[in-house]
Amino acid sequence: IVFELGDVYDGMRDREELRSCVNEYADLLTVWVFNPTVKAEESSSNSIRAADCDIVLMNAGTLPDFQRKIKRVFCNFMGVGV
């Protein structure tokens, strides 16, 4: 149900929900965005951890820096130049 309306879902917080989606969608790629300047949430509000995801992206710079990083990662996966 999560991906019936689109290809991207932001804000999932439950590890079992993530595992269910990964099992249901074979080509699902999970991404954890990490910002070291933001305090980690309590496990009671978010049971998903970086280790549960396929890719971890560091977001410690500016918005344009992060946008360039996302573009590089996407182009790398798609096998095209930036």
* Average pLDDT of the segment spanning 7-16: 87
Between 6 and 73, residue with greater pLDDT: 73
CA distance 74 to 82: 9
15, 47 contact by CB (below 8 A): yes
The pLDDT assigned to 15 comes to: 94
CA distance 36 to 6: 29
CA distance 67 to 73: 10
Question: Is pLDDT of 32 > 90?
Answer: yes
